[in-house]
Amino acid sequence: MTSLPKEGIAWPELQLQLQDAGKHDADWRGGRVPMFIHYAGDDVLEVAKQAYLMYFSENGLGLRAFGSLARFESDVVRMALTLMHGDDATRGAMTTGGTESIFLAVKAARDQAKQRRPGMGTPQIVMASSAHPAFDKAAHFMGLQVVRTPLRADFTADPAAIAAAITGDTVMVVGSVPAFPHGVVDPITEIAAAAAAHGVWMHVDACVGGYIAPFAKKLGADIPDWDFAVPGVTSISADLHKYGYTAKGASTLLFRDEESFAGMGWYFDGWPRGQYFTHTLVGTRAGGAIAAAWAVMNYLGEAGYRRITQRVLDTRRALQAGTAKLGLPTFGDPQLSILAYGSAGIDTAAVGARMTARGWVVGHVTEPPGFHHMLNLTHEPVAGRYLDDLATCIAETPPPQRGATVTARY
């Protein structure tokens, strides 16, 4: 059992221990990790690090004390709203990540529905089977039911199935930009229309796509309207620490109007200390994450994000072409940074095990069985090597046995 050392350990020794501990971690810089990392270059990483360190001790809970953080957060939110076709009425705040953003969107929708429909039963969320499990997590903690609907043949959400699943107890309908399993963008306009027809809150989960889709669309990607330009969209979650390339611990939750935004917060004054209010689920927030988000967004600007987005899209296209030649067609028509590919004629679990033995961390999807990638600039220089290793592993692997399954893990 590890116990607290009797005496402190000098930093040089601790530094060596830290370095040694990470020797066998996955080589993310070498493009070996299919997710978890969002790298846009050493220069961007350094900006994020230095800005974070400058505000390492400041606390995002105390914006009255740290007016600089209040300014940074306000600037970041306004930049986000501008990217996503907000107007003078739209509002938002930063959170610590996509799960927190989703939790708070669910809370706001639930509270609004209960206020407007006091006699309703157990609140429900309606969403496609490809929507992120964070909604199920939020439902579990807050006493909601989740209704998942089938996908269309192209792996996107089926608006008709979603519309048919809406009941008097539905408090939120969800669409994904993109859906994480296959990287495809749901038909937000149609889903939002179904939600609006029933007077239901419509949330767009753009945790992955929020800070890449605007630039991809300007670069010619075939992405339908999905943000506040779409009537009926009530809220949007978008992670800064993904394709905003900021330090981890930063997301945004954005709302159509002040009334919806008010549901994000939580107020309490029933204790001797007086008023307590936060827009977030957590109290203390790392000031460094807020400062780093502001710094990186200003450092890159629209031109920087466009350049990086183009490289990510080019890498995705290269992988799509290469895997197709290996008999692993892409599932659906992904237009952003995520793709999944596979074939019933290839034992993806066994091939994945061989790729793991070659030093690759392998992502899987289960429906249908295949491989999964969430791309960043670390993958750009190693795409060819990855495809070569994949070809070798496929050649070495016998065809799949009937009934074989793949267990997908983050």
| CATH code of the domain covering residue 314 | 3.90.1150.10
If asked whether residues 281 and 350 sit together in one domain, one would say no
pTM for this structure?
0.95
If asked whether residues 212 and 262 sit together in one domain, one would say yes
- Name the domain boundary from 297, 312, 344: 297
Kindly report the number of other CB atoms within 10 A of residue 160's CB atom. Answer: 12
The span from the CA of 392 to the CA of 88, in Å, is: 56
What is the DSSP-derived secondary structure letter of residue 147? E
If asked whether residues 194 and 134 sit together in one domain, one would say yes
What are 238's strand-pairing partners?
252
If asked whether residues 264 and 119 sit together in one domain, one would say yes
Q: Which residues of the chain have pLDDT under 70?
A: 402-410
If asked whether residues 240 and 336 sit together in one domain, one would say no
What confidence score (pLDDT) does residue 401 get? 72
The span from the CA of 394 to the CA of 358, in Å, is: 13
What confidence score (pLDDT) does residue 410 get? 52
If asked whether residues 290 and 315 sit together in one domain, one would say no
Task: Please check whether residue 270 lies inside any domain of the structure.
Answer: yes
Kindly report the number of other CB atoms within 10 A of residue 271's CB atom. Answer: 8
What confidence score (pLDDT) does residue 400 get? 78
What confidence score (pLDDT) does residue 94 get? 97
- Name the domain boundary from 297, 318, 347: 297
Task: Please check whether residue 324 lies inside any domain of the structure.
Answer: yes
Task: Please check whether residue 176 lies inside any domain of the structure.
Answer: yes
What confidence score (pLDDT) does residue 137 get? 98
Count how many domains the chain has.
2
The span from the CA of 401 to the CA of 309, in Å, is: 40
Strand, coil or helix: 53? helix
Task: Please check whether residue 14 lies inside any domain of the structure.
Answer: no
Kindly report the number of other CB atoms within 10 A of residue 344's CB atom. Answer: 11
Burial class (CB in 10 A: 0-12, 13-18, 19+), 119: exposed
If asked whether residues 281 and 333 sit together in one domain, one would say no
If asked whether residues 372 and 265 sit together in one domain, one would say no
If asked whether residues 291 and 340 sit together in one domain, one would say no
What confidence score (pLDDT) does residue 403 get? 56
Task: Please check whether residue 218 lies inside any domain of the structure.
Answer: yes
Domain CATH code at residue 147? 3.40.640.10
- Name the domain boundary from 265, 297, 329: 297
Residue 143: closest CA among 179, 163, 182, 169: 169
If asked whether residues 274 and 374 sit together in one domain, one would say no
> Residue 167 is part of which domain span?
48-297
Strand, coil or helix: 259? helix
Strand, coil or helix: 315? helix
- Measured in degrees and rounded to the nearest 5, phi and psi for residue 188 equal -65, -40
If asked whether residues 58 and 163 sit together in one domain, one would say yes
Task: Please check whether residue 12 lies inside any domain of the structure.
Answer: no
If asked whether residues 260 and 390 sit together in one domain, one would say no
Task: Please check whether residue 404 lies inside any domain of the structure.
Answer: no
Task: Please check whether residue 392 lies inside any domain of the structure.
Answer: yes
| R_g over Cα of the chain | 22
